[in-house]
Chain A
Amino acid sequence: MFDDDFRKIIIFTCIFGLLGLFIITYFFECAEVIVSDLLSGDIKESVYVVIGQIKSIEVKSNTLFFEFCDSSNCIKAVYFNPSTRIIEKLKTAMRDNLQIKVKARFEKYYGVSEIVIYKIYFEVNNLDYS
């Protein structure tokens, strides 16, 4: 049987644990890199802000796949559950060859380097894509 103190400890741990996790996730500041840095092999799997340009967009199974490139290298990028507005903005950015900034997790998927995008910043170089 469980006494009230034990229940209080459990609820306290749940609320403050989740709150703490939410706060550190929300205020997390990550390093800014370019695509070539990710592919250099010196960078560990983590979350980064990556700057680059888009090539070859494809939407499949509610997921957006595209090539994210700098002047010399490209990396596979994945964005889950994209809205139509985001897809249109990205297509505009690709068509005009404009630079964008993304917050993404760099990881290896089946041995291939890729970035899983959490957030896309369209305001790089103060350009308005809307």
Chain B
Amino acid sequence: MLFFEILLGTALGIIFGLIPNFHINLLAYLLCAAGVFSIFPDSFYLFFSIAVSMTITGILPLLLFRTQTSDTFALFLGRASSSSVSEIKSQITLFLYGFIFGGIFAVLFLPLFYVLFVLFSDFYVLIFGVLFLILIHLIFQQESISGKVLAFLIILFSGTLGVLTLKYNFFFSGPLLPCIFGLFALPQLLMLYFKISGTDNRSKFVQEIVSLKMILYNSFLGTLFSSIIAIVPSISPGLSMGLSSLFKEKDNSTEKLILFSSTLISVILIYFFMAITFRKSRIGFVSILLEQGVIASFSIPDIFLLGFVFLLVIGATCLFLFYFSFPIISCISTFDHTKVNLSVILFSVGLIIAITNVWSVFLIILSCAIGFLPIVYNKNKLFLMSYLIVPTILFFI
């Protein structure tokens, strides 16, 4: 039965992951609305496998359509049209390295995640300090005065939106969903739809020599920095990736892909591990699983099983992508990108309205306007994380 759950979950995750801009939180809301959790109340590994394999296959639409989510916005991959098939192949291979080694490190780091959470989760000054320093760092890393002012304004706008929708939410049902979509995904999708190039001047992807030492080092670093998520609330994988990038001496696109993919996969294990051991959720998907009673109490052998299943699903999904990604890319490449982007926008907005209510349209428009600020002024999208960081800081003051 367990093997069947893992197999089904991996297969479903692969399919869901291929849908552009389809985040696991949206999937959780859909499954909840469809009553799936009531039908499979004890199938924890089904949903766990879906989350893991969906995260891995999610790189295909990301590479093909550049449809980014709050988890992947820190990645810069160049314009979709400018990437050749061989370039995408190289990127997929690097991602797979990161997923495999990041997954192995994440399992080995489980005791570290546990210790870090136990030691620091109630150490409010540290959490407050880390978040506050992140904001200060983001502002002062700007070289010019005008850059600092702009950075401050983006933080102010997104932070105010966070306070008004998360801390003092009197009207909106599930404001997180439309705001995260509007801030991180919609501006990018609109730019792709209207074929606006933007002013991003970061370097294009350049394939460099890959060594095992480099893969291991970057996977290790990605997993290590993802542990920040275990301690500090409101840090997303995107911000965690951004933080680990700060410790890199040069802007190496090859290393970044491995770093980012290892972070992406490590945080999935952290999310579930935190939910199992501390009943804490850092993501909507896990929060809904907890709410629906799908995540039961785990013993130590169950944690070992969790690690084993995690690696098994990573292995199976990476193997699938290794052999079948190119036929899938060839198939998807025939689709009209403009139509796909329009479908993604309409599907996402429709889904959010269906899950929340029609008032979410106001939040989508407002958060999209704020999400455009770093793009039109060529600033780092990490500033938008203030949407979560500022309300969290206020919680600890």
B196/A14 in contact, CB under 8 A: no
CB distance from B326 to the nearest CB of A (A): 34
Chain B residues near A47 (CB, 8 Å)? 170
CB distance from B373 to the nearest CB of A (A): 6
Q: Does B201 contact A (CB under 8 A)?
A: no
With contact pairs A6-B376, A10-B376, A14-B157 given, residues A22 and B164 touching in the complex (Cβ less than 8 Å): yes
CA distance A61 to B121 in the complex (A): 9
Partner of B395, one of A7, A11, A62: A62
A18/B170 in contact, CB under 8 A: no
Chain B residues near A1 (CB, 8 Å)? 196-199
CB distance from B363 to the nearest CB of A (A): 9
Chain A residues near B375 (CB, 8 Å)? 2
B164/A25 in contact, CB under 8 A: yes
A81/B397 in contact, CB under 8 A: yes
With contact pairs A1-B196, A111-B291 given, residues A14 and B396 touching in the complex (Cβ less than 8 Å): no
B161/A18 in contact, CB under 8 A: yes
Chain A residues near B122 (CB, 8 Å)? 61
CA distance A10 to B190 in the complex (A): 14
Partner of A2, one of B164, B199, B362: B199
A105/B169 in contact, CB under 8 A: yes
Secondary structure at the B interface, as helix, strand, loop or mixed, is helix
B369/A14 in contact, CB under 8 A: yes
A21/B366 in contact, CB under 8 A: yes
Chain A residues near B373 (CB, 8 Å)? 10-11, 14
Interface magnitude class on chain A: 20 to 34
CA distance A6 to B396 in the complex (A): 37
Chain A stretch 1-39: residues in CB contact (< 8 A) with chain B: 1-2, 6-7, 9-11, 13-14, 17-18, 21-22, 24-25, 28, 30
With contact pairs A7-B376, A80-B395, A81-B396 given, residues A2 and B196 touching in the complex (Cβ less than 8 Å): yes
Number of contacting residues on B, CB 8 A?
32
B290/A14 in contact, CB under 8 A: no
B170/A110 in contact, CB under 8 A: no
Chain A residues near B124 (CB, 8 Å)? 62
Chain A residues near B198 (CB, 8 Å)? 1-2
Please give me the residue from chain B that is nearest to A21 by CB atom.
B164
Binary contact track B380-397/A, C-beta < 8 Å → 1, others 0: 000000000000001111
CB distance from B172 to the nearest CB of A (A): 10
Chain B stretch 124-158: residues in CB contact (< 8 A) with chain A: 124, 157
Chain A residues near B366 (CB, 8 Å)? 13-14, 17-18, 21
Q: Does A118 contact B (CB under 8 A)?
A: yes
Q: Does B77 contact A (CB under 8 A)?
A: no
9 additional contacts (CB under 8 A) given A17-B362, A28-B171, A109-B291:
A1-B198, A10-B376, A14-B157, A14-B373, A17-B366, A18-B164, A24-B171, A62-B396, A105-B170
List the interface of chain B (C-beta within 8 A of A).
Answer: 122, 124, 157, 160-161, 164-165, 168-171, 173, 196-199, 290-291, 362, 365-366, 369-370, 372-373, 375-377, 394-397
